Amino acid sequence: MINITDKIVGKIPKREFNGGLGEGIINWFGEHISTPENRVIIGATALLSQPFFDYYNKDVDEKTRKVSCARTIGKIIAGTLTGYTIRAGFVKLVKNYSELTENESGGLKKIFTPSIANKDMPFAYKQYRNAMGMLFAIAGLTIAGFVIDAPMTNAITNAITKRMGGGKDGK
Amino acid sequence: MNESSFMKTVVNKAYTNFSQNPGNFLLWSGSIGWVASCISQLVAIANNDKLTGKQKKFLIPQEITDGVVNTLLFAVFTRSFTKIGEKLVHNGKIATKTLADLYKTTKVPHLGNKTIDELIGTEVEVDKNGKKVKQLFHIGDTVNKLDPTEAENGISKKYWPFATGVVFTFSTLGSVISCDAVTPFVRNKIASHQQKKALAKEQALGQNEVKTVSPIAPTQPLQNPYQPKTPLASAYRPNGSMKI
């Protein structure tokens, strides 16, 4: 894997961005994208591609194909909604309790503040907050998977399947 | 270790590992997310009484395959794309005009006082766990070792937002390609193969039972379920719809 990436990097010519769209996209990603936004991008693009793979999968019968397509749509919608909400929620929680101030005693407001944090690197600190939020979000995601994600997926799947006529007895 | 010092250890470790390595963080958090999602979805299918047994026979292997394939492909693709992004930016292959200008003027005291621009693409000797090793010049590592005043006022402040942007762009691209194109194609192929196998096995078992109780031809050998002349086999089309 390392050799392949080395070879690819070796073939890419040296490039200098001087403003323009390329630099704009990169800066936007650096500034705005973390795990919650990443989940939304994956979800939105998945909604535009995955259902078609299932709907035109000629290896299974028509009804299974319809259910499979409906379930993929349900899974993407439910997964993206809960995925984004939980990730963003925990990132915000960590942000609220990781104040980076000179004041030594911060109590609860500094519970997630690392003692080794470099105050001169606000960008690195933002990345840390996102990562710490995601650490907590994993527990939240596991619980939400059963409590919200799975029932919501089933409800959306059943509603879409009914409309497509791919359920039990063709309903 | 008391509760408070345990908490400090955890937050300090998280800061060390992820504050300047966002690609790595996106990779493992995404992978764990896929595993958690797969487990809950399996429970959802198993408990969905609106699905027929036959549909579950496709959807359960599809979900397992989806989980395994998704996680593996996500890890491989995202990791590879992240690595490419990291190497491009840390090896100085891509930069903004502002950064390229700073590379020409910023001197690195611990590497013979050469400028970053002079060091790009060369092998340098660095300290790793107390040992001197030779490796390709890495801008990110170098920027972190520069004087704090330099870091605050100059290159570091401009370098890390750009580097993170490059890594996030590449890692998002890798995850989108793996999740939206490669995974659905691969998982459907595997799941439909598993469904056919399960249904064929079921069919063969059904025929076996019929043959055992049949008073007409008790000595006739078991028929191949794929043989086209039998009614069940003609209903089963290995490359198309299953109408059993």
pLDDT band at B3 (very low <50, low <70, confident <90, very high): low
What does the pLDDT read at residue A80?
92
Crossing angle for the helix pair A62-96 and A150-164, to the nearest 10 degrees: 150
**pLDDT band at B148, cuts 50/70/90?**
low
* pLDDT tens digits, one per residue of A8-56: 888 888 888 887 888 888 888 887 888 888 889 989 999 998 898 888 8
Sign of CA dihedral A131, B73, B186, B70: negative
Of all residues in chain B, what percent carry a pLDDT higher than 90? 5
| Amino acid, single-letter form, for residue B129 | N
ipTM for this prediction:
0.77
Contact A114 B14 (CB under 8 A): yes
Helix (H) or strand (E) segment spanning residue A42 = helix A35-55
- Beta strands A15-17 and B94-96: pairing type? parallel
pLDDT of residue A94: 92
A5 CB neighbours in chain B (<8 A) are 80, 83-84, 87
What pLDDT score does B241 carry?
Answer: 28
B28 or A131, greater pLDDT: A131
Point out the residue among B12, B84, B192 whose CB comes nearest to the CB of A116.
B12
| A7 part of contact set with chain B, CB < 8 Å | no
Q: How far apart are CA A120 and CA A116, in angstroms?
A: 12
- pLDDT at residue number A77: 94
Q: Name every chain A residue with its beta carbon within 8 A of the beta carbon of B39.
A: 142, 145
Is the CB of B14 less than 8 angstroms away from the CB of A131? yes
A155–B contact, CB cutoff 8 A: no
Look at B107 and B19; give whichever has higher pLDDT: B107
Distance from CA of B219 to the nearest CA of A (A): 35
| pLDDT at position B222 | 39
CB within 8 Å of chain B, chain A residues 9-48 = 9, 12, 14-19, 23, 25-31, 33-35, 38-39, 41-42, 45-46, 48
Residue B100 CA to residue A166 CA, distance in Å, equals 58
Distance, CA of B14 to CA of B16 (rounded, Å): 6
Nearest to B100 among A16, A25, A158 (CB): A16
Q: What is the pLDDT of residues A110-154, one digit of tens each?
A: 888 888 887 777 777 888 888 888 888 888 888 888 888 888 988
Give CA–CA dist A32/A19, Å, rounded.
Answer: 18
Higher pLDDT, A19 or B233: A19
Other C-beta atoms lying within 10 Å of the C-beta of residue B58:
30
Q: Please state the rounded mean pLDDT for residues B103-127.
A: 86
B26, B44, B54 ranked by CB distance to A38: nearest = B26
Considering only CB atoms, A9 lies closest to which of B88, B185, B240, namely B88
Q: Is the dihedral of CA A109, A115, A121, A126 positive or negative?
A: negative
**Helix spans in chain B (H):** 3-18, 22-47, 53-90, 97-105, 116-119, 139-145, 148-153, 155-177, 183-213, 231-235
- Helix H, strand E, coil C: the string for B31-49 is HHHHHHHHHHHHHHHHHCC
Neighbouring residues of A144: CB distance < 8 A, sequence distance ≥ 6: A82, A86
Q: Which tens digit of pLDDT belongs to each residue from A59-109? A: 778 888 888 899 889 989 998 999 899 999 999 999 998 888 766 666 777
The 8 Å CB, 24+ separation contacts for B188-193 are B188/A53, B188/A54, B188/A57, B188/A59, B188/A68, B188/B62, B189/A59, B190/B61, B190/B65, B190/B69, B191/B58, B191/B61, B191/B62, B191/B65, B191/B66, B192/A57, B192/A59, B192/A60, B192/B58, B193/A59
